[in-house]
């Protein structure tokens, strides 16, 4: 019982320490770019500790965002976060009465409410799903009988305007109520972009390591090898160049071509070393 109580106390102390550090760090961060992992690195002392603390830091940050404490994110900074597609706009009263979407809402949310309205009122043409058969309320508002999901954005534009100065208090209230939601959406988006970037890099790396069949001239340059990856080919070419001292002594970036290299580099007398890779494709064949 004592050990369990001691363990709980230690865990609470760790949480309190992290929370204190985050209260100092969070107001200084750019919420458009900062990730939970980056915040964890700032409070951790090592890469190993970063991995251990990541779930805890994420949980604490989310709790702190729910608190909406003014010292956590200065309100001016919070308002700056609501730009672009997140920017709150004033919805024309006539459209607001139809959709019940609220008086101050970003364009993306208005579109979401509109799509929901179309679905609930079964306004899609059963034979052409992208064609919307506008009901009387929408038809009177937009001055059209039909629309497409693509044209809806254009149709709602006249009914969305920038709030006036005397309506800023409504905008401020919207920001306070939706800050956590926007930050979590941004965090999810950043993590998704990172996963896509990592997947692309991984695929590119795998492609560079994949064995390819070499042309006869490239095979001679690479010591008689018939199959090598693109990375290995570049390495062999550099070994060939250095063994024969084919770098221009006055400019090491330039390669002086002997008979074999001329066949590889389209009969050029010299070639810039940065351009080696672009000449390889005709001499490499997928297996």
Task: Return all residues near 107 (Cβ < 8 A) that are at least 6 apart.
Answer: 85, 87, 89, 153, 156, 160
For residues 213 and 208, give the distance between their C-alpha atoms in angstroms, rounded to a whole number: 13
**Could you tell me if 68 and 88 lie in one domain?**
no
**Is 194 part of any domain?**
no
**Is 192 part of any domain?**
no
For residues 57 and 68, give the distance between their C-alpha atoms in angstroms, rounded to a whole number: 17
Last residue of a domain, one of 72, 91, 123: 72
**Could you tell me if 221 and 255 lie in one domain?**
yes
Task: Return all residues near 261 (Cβ < 8 A) that are at least 6 apart.
Answer: 221, 240, 241, 246, 255, 271
**Could you tell me if 146 and 223 lie in one domain?**
no
Evaluate whether 89 touches 106 at the Cβ level (below 8 Å).
yes
Number of domains the chain is built from: 3
DSSP letter (8 states) at residue 123 = -
Last residue of a domain, one of 36, 54, 72: 72
**What's the angle, vertex CA 281, arms to CA 277 and CA 286, rounded to 5?**
125
**Could you tell me if 96 and 10 lie in one domain?**
no
Per-residue pLDDT of the chain (287 residues; tens, 9 = 90+): 444 566 667 777 888 888 888 877 776 776 656 777 888 888 887 877 888 888 888 888 777 766 655 555 666 666 667 777 788 899 999 999 999 998 999 998 999 999 999 999 999 998 888 899 999 999 999 999 999 988 998 999 999 999 888 888 888 888 777 776 666 666 666 667 777 776 666 555 566 678 889 999 999 999 999 999 888 999 999 999 999 999 998 888 899 999 999 999 889 999 998 888 888 888 988 87
**Is 193 part of any domain?**
no
**What's the angle, vertex CA 267, arms to CA 264 and CA 270, rounded to 5?**
90
Domain containing residue 268: CATH number? 1.10.245.10
**Could you tell me if 6 and 93 lie in one domain?**
no
Domain interval for residue 125:
81-177
**Could you tell me if 169 and 90 lie in one domain?**
yes
Helices (H), 68-134: 75-81, 93-99, 107-120
**Could you tell me if 66 and 90 lie in one domain?**
no
């Amino acid at each position: 019982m004592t050990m369990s109580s001691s363990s709980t106390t230690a865990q609470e102390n760790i949480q309190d320490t992290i929370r204190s550090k985050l209260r100092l760090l969070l107001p200084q961060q750019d919420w458009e770019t900062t990730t939970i992992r980056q915040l964890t690195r700032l409070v951790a002392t090592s890469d190993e500790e970063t991995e251990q603390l990541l779930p805890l830091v994420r949980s604490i940050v989310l709790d702190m965002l729910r608190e909406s404490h003014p010292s956590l994110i200065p309100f001016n900074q919070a308002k700056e976060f609501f730009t672009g597609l997140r920017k709150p706009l004033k919805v024309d009263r006539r459209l607001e009465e139809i959709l019940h979407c609220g008086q101050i809402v970003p364009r993306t949310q208005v579109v979401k409410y509109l799509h929901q309205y179309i679905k609930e009122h079964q306004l899609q043409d059963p034979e052409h799903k992208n064609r919307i058969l506008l009901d009387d309320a929408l038809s009177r508002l937009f001055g059209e009988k039909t629309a497409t999901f693509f044209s809806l954005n254009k149709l709602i534009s006249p009914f969305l305007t920038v709030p006036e100065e005397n309506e800023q208090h409504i905008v401020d209230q919207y920001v306070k109520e939706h800050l956590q939601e926007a930050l979590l959406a941004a965090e999810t988006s950043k993590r998704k972009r990172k996963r896509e970037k990592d997947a692309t890099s991984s695929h590119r790396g795998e492609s560079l390591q994949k064995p390819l069949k070499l042309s006869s001239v490239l095979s001679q340059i690479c010591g008689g090898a018939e199959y090598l990856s693109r990375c290995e080919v570049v390495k062999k070419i550099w070994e060939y160049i250095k063994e024969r001292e084919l770098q221009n002594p006055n400019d090491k970036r330039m390669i002086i071509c002997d008979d074999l290299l001329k066949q590889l580099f389209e009969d050029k007398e010299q070639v810039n070393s940065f351009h080696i890779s672009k000449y390889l494709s005709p001499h490499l064949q997928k297996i």
